Amino acid sequence: MKKELNIKDHIADMLQNCRFAVLATEGKGQPHASLIAITPIEGFKSLIFATYRNTTKYRNISQNSKVAVLIEGKDLNRFTLQEGFVLTAFGNADEISLTGNDTALCAHIARHPDLASFMKSTDCALIQIIVASYQVVNGTEDVNWYSIQELDEI
């Protein structure tokens, strides 16, 4: 397999098939990890998730927008990559308006219908992560980095 030729499709496939991920944030020098329900937007360039505003992750993002999102794909092996494939997205997160952004909101509810009532809460925030790069891990000695610009050129 030519990884360079298929990696863009594989990342997009992972994002479409993995509904949950681990979000890493930082606040006051303390790391924080949270399980989130993700929805990819624009293929692999953006991820969205919802959270209450009174959470540690929301406070951390408000103070430091740099985040990492870890997605495990051990059950996905479409491109014959080794078991244990892990994808980490690195980027900046920011709240987006729930009103006036029907496309993102509808996409997230369609992907996670069980969150519909949660999303209607006045304390719920929709967060968008603009991805700058991905780390792709196929094994302990097979770790590669791809910027969004590199992926666009593939």
What is residue 58's predicted lDDT score, i.e. its pLDDT? Answer: 98
- What is the percent of the chain where pLDDT is above 90? 63
Classify 79 as helix, strand or coil: coil
Nearest-angstrom CA–CA distance, 129 and 23: 10
Please give the biggest Cα pair distance in the chain. Answer: 48
Q: The domain containing residue 148 runs over which residues? A: 3-153
* For residue 49, pLDDT beyond 60: yes
CB 91 within 8 A of CB 129: yes
- What is the percent of the chain where pLDDT is above 70? 87
* For residue 51, pLDDT beyond 90: yes
Q: What is the value of pTM for the model shown? A: 0.88
Q: What is the pLDDT of residues 58-93, one digit of tens each?
A: 999 999 999 999 998 755 445 544 456 799 999 999
What is residue 5's predicted lDDT score, i.e. its pLDDT? Answer: 45
Q: How many domains does the chain have?
A: 1
Nearest-angstrom CA–CA distance, 154 and 150: 7
Q: What is the pLDDT of residues 133-152, one digit of tens each?
A: 999 988 788 899 999 999 98
Kindly report the CATH number assigned to the domain that includes residue 142: 2.30.110.10
